[in-house]
Chain A
Amino acid sequence: MSNVPAMTDGTVLPDEPSAPRRFLRMLWADKFALAATIILLVVVLMAVFGPALLGDVAQKQNLRGRNAPPFDWERGWLWWMGADSLGRPLLARIIVAARNTITVAAGAVLCSALVGTALGLVAGYASRRVGEAIMRLADVIMSFPSLLLAVIVLYILGPSVANVVVVLAITRIPVYLRTTRAEVLEIRERMFVSAARVMGASSRRIVLRHILPVVLPTLMTIATLDFAYVMLAESALSFLGIGIQPPEITWGLMIAQGKEHLTRAWWLSFWPGLAIILTTLSLNLLSNWMRIALDPTQRWRLEMRGRSNG
C-alpha cells in the first residue's frame, strides 16, 4: 500500500454520509451479507409472531397424517415440508420452534458477552494479581465439562428455557473474557491512552471511553459468530436429551425426535437441520461483513464496491 499516494497537507476527505445510510449502502454492496440479513430478519419475524399465529396448529396431532411426506402440494402450505410422527405439520413446527431456538441463543450470547467483557476489562486494566486470578477462573470454566453442567442444572433447577440459557452463558464467558483482556493489554499501551492519562483521565474513563469503543467491534463480530455456535450447542444438548425438554420445541430437539424415524421419514430431521444451517451460515456471513464494515480503515473496500455496482 506504500505505493498509494497519501493525502498532502491541505486536502481533506469530504464529509461522510450519516451512519445508518452508510451501513445500508455497505450492506447493499455485499450481496451475501444482504441475503444473510434478510434470512435473519425472516427468522426473527418467525420467532416473534410464529407461536401466536401457528402455536395451535403446530401442537395439534393428526394420526392419519403421521410421517406424511413433503412436497404434497394438494394439502395446505403448512404441510409442504411433510408432517412428524404425530401428524403435526413440520413447517408450522419449525416456525414456532424458532422462538425458543433464538431466545436461548440470544439470551446466552447477551449474558456471556456482558459478563465476559466486564471481567475482561477488569482483568486487562487492573493489577497483575487480579488479572491472573480472573484468568485462572476462566481456565476452570473452560475445562468444566458443559454436559455435566447441563445435567447438574437440569436436575437441580429443573428443565426450562431460562436454565438452558444459564448453562450456555456460563460456558461461553471465557471467549469474551480472553478476547477482551488480550485487546485491553494491547490497547492500554497505545499512545492515545497515554494522551488521556496526561490529561488526567481516570481509569474508569480510560477503560469505558477509550478502550471499550476500540474493542467493541471485535466483540460484536465474535458475538455474531458465537450466536451460531450457541445455537449449535443448544441443539446438541437438546439432541442428547439434557437441554430443552418436550413439549417445548427447538430445532435441535426436532432433529433428535426425528432420528428414530430416520430410515422411514428422513424429512423429520432434515428440515430443522436445514433451518439451523441457513441461520448459522447467515450469522457467519454477517460476522464477516461486520469485520470489514466496523473497521474505519477497511470500510472503503465495501464503499468502493457499492459505488461501482450501482
Chain B
Amino acid sequence: MLTFIRKRSVASLISLVGLVILVFFLSRLTGDPTDLYLPIDATDEMRAQFREIYGLNDPLIVQFGHYVGDLVQLDFGESIRKARPAIDVVLEAFVWTLQLAVITMALVTAAAIVVGSLAAFRVGGFFDRVSGVLSLVAASAPDFWIAIVAIVVFAVGLGWLPTSGTGTPWHWILPIAVLFIRPFGLIVQVVRGSMINALSSAYVKTARAKGIKTRKIIFVHALRNAMLPIITVIGDQAASLLNGAVVIETIFGFPGVGKLMIDSILQRDFTVVLASIMVTALAIFVMNLLIDLAYAALDPRIRH
C-alpha cells in the first residue's frame, strides 16, 4: 500500500510540476498587469515602481527562479488584486468550494445509487423508463441556463429564495440544487448499467438459490460488486466540482475557487492563479487516494 501511495505521489508530482511551469509561462502571455492596475495617466516612474515591487522587470526565467525559490519555503507570493498573500485568498475561497462540493456530492451519491439500483432491478419497467428519461434530461441540461431559469422562477417570480450571496442556509439551496442535476443524471446511468451487470452475474444466481431476500440481493450482494465503476464516476464528478463550478459560482455570486480563478485570470493576478491550481491539485490528489482506498476496502481482490 505504501509503495502504491509513493508511486502515485511521484506521478502526480511530475504532472503538477509540468502544470506549474506551463501555467507560469503561458499566463504571462495574456499581458502585463501594470496596465490594469495603474490609472491610465500613470507616469512611467509609477509604472517602473509597480513593476519593481512585483518583480516584473526581470526576464521571465529569472522571475520563475524567484517564484520557485519562494515556493520551496511555502511562500506563494502576493496577490496584486487583493494585496494579501495569495495562499490566504485561495484557501478562503477553497473552503467555500469544498463545502459546496461535499454537500452536493453526498446528496448526488445517495440519490443516484437508490434510483439507479431500483431502475436496474426491473429493466424496462415503469420506474426504469421514467428515471431513464429524467436522468437523460438532467445530464443534458446546461447548468447555467437552469440557474437562470431557477432564479427567474424561485427568486424573482416566487420570491422564496435569495438570488445570490452566502449569508443564510437559504442561500445554499439554489446553487446546490443546480449543481446537483448534471452529476445526478450521469451517475444514475452509470449505477443502472453497473447494477444490471452485477444482477445478471453468477453469484446473484447463487444467492437466489440460497433463498436470500430480494432487497438483500440488490443492496448487499450486487451493489458492493457494482460500486467500483460507480466510485470512478463519482470521483470524476467530484473533481470537476473541486475545480470550482465557475459559471454557477459567478451567477450566484458565490465566493468559491472557480469565481476566484476566472477573476484572477481576467485581472492577471498570476500568483493567485498558480496558488489555486496547486491547492485544487492537492485536493484532487487526496480525493483520488481516498477513492483508491475505497476500491481496496470494497474489493478484496485489489488489496494486494
Chain A contacts to B: CB under 8 angstroms: 1, 136, 139-140, 143-145, 147-148, 151-152, 155-156, 228, 232, 235-236, 239-240, 252, 255, 259, 262-263, 266, 269-270, 273, 276-277, 280-281, 283-285, 288
Contact of B277 among A136, A145, A280, A285 (CB under 8 A): A145
Chain B contacts to A: CB under 8 angstroms: 11-12, 14-16, 18-19, 22-23, 26-27, 29-31, 136-137, 139-145, 148-149, 151-152, 156, 200, 243, 246-247, 250, 261-262, 265-266, 273, 277, 281, 284
Contact of A148 among B141, B143, B151, B273 (CB under 8 A): B273
Contact B243 A145 (CB under 8 A): yes
Contact B149 A270 (CB under 8 A): yes
- Cα–Cα, bound, A148→B274 (Å): 11
Across the interface, name the chain A residue whose C-beta is closest to B281: A143
Contact of B247 among A239, A266, A288 (CB under 8 A): A239
How far does the Cβ of A284 sit from chain B's closest Cβ, in whole Å? 5
What are 8 A-B contacts defined by CB distance under 8 Å? Answer: A136-B11, A136-B18, A143-B277, A144-B19, A232-B142, A236-B144, A277-B142, A280-B142
Given A145-B277, A284-B136, are A140 and B22 also a contact pair (CB < 8 Å)? Answer: yes
Contact B148 A273 (CB under 8 A): yes
- Cα–Cα, bound, A1→B200 (Å): 9
Given A147-B265, A240-B250, are A156 and B29 also a contact pair (CB < 8 Å)? Answer: yes
Report B-chain residues with C-beta under 8 Å of the C-beta of A266: 149, 152
Across the interface, name the chain A residue whose C-beta is closest to B153: A266
Report B-chain residues with C-beta under 8 Å of the C-beta of A259: 148
The 3 closest A-B pairs by CB, nearest first: A273-B145, A139-B15, A280-B140
Report B-chain residues with C-beta under 8 Å of the C-beta of A236: 142, 144, 246-247
Report B-chain residues with C-beta under 8 Å of the C-beta of A232: 142-143
- Cα–Cα, bound, A148→B264 (Å): 10
Report B-chain residues with C-beta under 8 Å of the C-beta of A147: 246, 261-262, 265
How far does the Cβ of B18 sit from chain A's closest Cβ, in whole Å? 5
Across the interface, name the chain B residue whose C-beta is closest to A137: B18
Contact B19 A140 (CB under 8 A): yes
Across the interface, name the chain B residue whose C-beta is closest to A281: B140
Contact B142 A235 (CB under 8 A): yes
Contact A143 B15 (CB under 8 A): yes
How far does the Cβ of B300 sit from chain A's closest Cβ, in whole Å? 22
Contact A262 B281 (CB under 8 A): no
Contact B140 A262 (CB under 8 A): no
How far does the Cβ of B139 sit from chain A's closest Cβ, in whole Å? 6
- Cα–Cα, bound, A283→B141 (Å): 12
Report B-chain residues with C-beta under 8 Å of the C-beta of A239: 144, 247
- Cα–Cα, bound, A262→B163 (Å): 12
Contact A262 B142 (CB under 8 A): no
Across the interface, name the chain B residue whose C-beta is closest to A270: B149
Contact A152 B26 (CB under 8 A): yes
Across the interface, name the chain B residue whose C-beta is closest to A132: B11
- Cα–Cα, bound, A143→B277 (Å): 8
Query: B14, B18, B30, B140 — which one has the most chain A CB atoms within 10 A of its CB?
Result: B140
Contact B137 A240 (CB under 8 A): no
Report A-chain residues with C-beta under 8 Å of the C-beta of B136: 281, 284-285, 288
How far does the Cβ of B22 sit from chain A's closest Cβ, in whole Å? 7
- Cα–Cα, bound, A117→B121 (Å): 35
Report B-chain residues with C-beta under 8 Å of the C-beta of A136: 11, 14-15, 18
Contact of B27 among A148, A262, A269 (CB under 8 A): A148
How far does the Cβ of A63 sit from chain B's closest Cβ, in whole Å? 25
Report B-chain residues with C-beta under 8 Å of the C-beta of A144: 19, 22-23
How far does the Cβ of B142 sit from chain A's closest Cβ, in whole Å? 5
- Cα–Cα, bound, A1→B30 (Å): 60
Contact A262 B151 (CB under 8 A): yes
Report A-chain residues with C-beta under 8 Å of the C-beta of B281: 143
Report A-chain residues with C-beta under 8 Å of the C-beta of B200: 1
Report B-chain residues with C-beta under 8 Å of the C-beta of A240: 246-247, 250, 262
- Cα–Cα, bound, A239→B148 (Å): 12
- Cα–Cα, bound, A239→B149 (Å): 15
Contacts A147-B265, A156-B29 known; 5 new A-B pairs at CB < 8 A: A145-B261, A148-B273, A236-B247, A269-B148, A269-B149
- Cα–Cα, bound, A139→B262 (Å): 21
How far does the Cβ of A147 sit from chain B's closest Cβ, in whole Å? 5
Given A140-B19, A144-B19, A236-B142, are A151 and B266 also a contact pair (CB < 8 Å)? Answer: yes
How far does the Cβ of A102 sit from chain B's closest Cβ, in whole Å? 15
